[in-house]
């Protein structure tokens, strides 16, 4: 019975279930926490994989291997939290390919790289007690000798930092666009390589921000800055606190977000490719909210119901979006 349900999960994630099978699976998931835990574990492995072909057996095999090896993963500098609740990460130690390496004087062999696959999230607890939540497709770099006296990290992607207070030893976050210096605070940083901007949002405490060719800034609670990479200018922006950090709890809240930006985020969160060619999409904005338990199919259906959008699946984890003209 268990094997049957596992194969049904794989079919569901691959988009091969009919409506009766989907209802059967959802009923089974809601029967117990154990069933939900198994579903989220397989979903996380599936979403985190880079497979380009439809092969349910390989996805299940990957899940079983991960389960078997989970207790053998060892790291001196980090602890992984909530691995069984749909949060996954891939830990690499050593070779770096990021531009961020150029911002440090640490040899490559002494750098730890903590990468989160597309479609996943993770939490890292550093040696000084600082908690770092990492969003999908993000990478955190830090020295192997990171300690309460050496608190320097680099980030590519998005992360929420809850920094342990230490006024004597500042905590420094380096991105491709700016550096953040704090002693103890809570803030969110978004600096993906494929964005045309980077942001820093302060929830508690105070952060000092410095960027090349720009005056240093001091952010107070409730402030957010956005650095435009095209013109190298910084502007203050308003934000909703719940929406800004909802991603770390598996919820995505949008308020009049530009449609191209929405698509980019959905591609990261669900590890899919959403293609479109109509220029009308660039004029759309979207407000709404999703939860991580919802599949990409459910999200696209919600967009279809609330926006002039239709979609079709064109390949494994690849979709084509079509703009539907509204008749007045």
Q: Would the pLDDT of 223 be above 90?
A: yes
Q: How far is 115 from 143, CA to CA, in rounded Å?
A: 15
Q: What is the pLDDT of residue 44?
A: 61
Q: What is the pLDDT of residue 96?
A: 30
Q: What is the pLDDT of residue 77?
A: 31
**pLDDT one-digit tens code per residue, 241-256:** 888 889 998 888 888 8
Q: Please, which pLDDT band fits residue 78 given cuts at 50, 70 and 90?
A: very low
**pLDDT one-digit tens code per residue, 143-191:** 989 998 999 999 999 999 999 999 999 999 999 999 999 998 999 999 9
Burial 54-89 (b: 16+ CB within 10 A, else e): eebeebbebbeebeeeeeeeeeebbebeebeebbbb
pLDDT, averaged across the chain: 78
Q: Which residues contact 154 (CB under 8 A, 6 or more apart)?
A: 98, 100, 101, 103, 104, 140, 141, 142, 173, 174, 175
Residue 141 in tokens: 């770099």
Q: Please, which pLDDT band fits residue 286 given cuts at 50, 70 and 90?
A: confident
Q: Percent of the chain at pLDDT above 90? A: 37
Residue 221 in tokens: 């609670």
Q: What is the pLDDT of residue 287?
A: 86
Q: How far is 218 from 185, CA to CA, in rounded Å?
A: 13
CB-based contact 167:156 (threshold 8 Å): no
Q: What is the pLDDT of residue 66?
A: 52
Task: Give first-to-last CA distance, the chain, whole Å.
Answer: 53
Q: What is the pLDDT of residue 166?
A: 94
Q: What is the pLDDT of residue 176?
A: 93
Most confident of the ranges 78-87, 119-128, 317-326: 119-128
Q: Would the pLDDT of 271 be above 80?
A: yes
Q: If you count DSSP H runs as helices and E runs as strands, how many of each does the chain have, helices first?
A: 7, 19
Give the least confident one: 51-65, 185-199, 294-308: 51-65
Quick check: helix, strand or coil at residue 108? helix
Q: CA-CA-CA-CA torsion for 147, 163, 198, 220, nearest 10 degrees?
A: -140
Q: How far is 76 from 143, CA to CA, in rounded Å?
A: 12
Q: How far is 93 from 131, CA to CA, in rounded Å?
A: 20
Count CA atoms within 13 Å of residue 213 on its CB side: 7
Q: What is the pLDDT of residue 28?
A: 85
């Amino acid at each position: 019975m268990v094997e049957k349900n596992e194969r049904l999960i794989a079919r569901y994630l691959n988009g091969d279930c009919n409506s009766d099978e989907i209802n059967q699976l959802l009923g089974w998931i809601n029967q117990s926490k154990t069933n939900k835990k198994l579903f989220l574990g397989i979903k996380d492995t599936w979403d985190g994989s880079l497979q380009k072909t439809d092969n349910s057996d390989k996805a299940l095999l990957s899940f079983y291997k991960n389960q078997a090896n989970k207790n053998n993963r060892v790291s001196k500098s980090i602890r992984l939290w909530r691995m069984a609740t749909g949060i996954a990460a891939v830990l690499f130690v050593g070779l770096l390919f990021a531009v961020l390496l150029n911002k440090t004087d640490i040899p490559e062999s002494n750098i730890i790289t903590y990468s989160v696959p597309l479609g996943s999230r993770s939490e890292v607890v550093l040696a000084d007690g600082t908690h770092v939540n990492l969003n999908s497709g993000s990478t955190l770099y830090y020295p192997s000798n990171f300690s309460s006296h050496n608190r320097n990290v680099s980030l590519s992607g998005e992360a929420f930092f809850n920094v342990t207070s230490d006024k004597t030893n500042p905590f420094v976050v380096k991105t491709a666009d700016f550096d953040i210096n704090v002693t103890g605070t809570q803030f969110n940083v978004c600096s993906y390589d494929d964005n045309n901007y980077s942001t820093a949002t302060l929830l508690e405490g105070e952060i000092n921000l410095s960027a090349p060719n720009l005056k240093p800034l001091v952010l107070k609670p409730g402030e957010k800055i956005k650095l435009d990479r095209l013109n190298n200018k910084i502007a203050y922006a308003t934000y909703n606190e719940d929406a800004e950090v909802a991603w770390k709890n598996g919820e995505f809240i949008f308020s009049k977000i530009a449609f191209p930006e929405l698509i980019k985020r959905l591609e990261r969160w669900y590890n899919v490719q959403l293609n479109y060619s109509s220029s009308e999409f660039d004029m759309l904005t979207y407000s709404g909210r999703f939860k991580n338990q919802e599949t990409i199919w459910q999200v696209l259906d919600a967009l279809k119901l609330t926006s002039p959008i239709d979609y079709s699946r064109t390949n494994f984890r690849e979709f084509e979006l079509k703009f539907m003209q509204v008749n007045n």
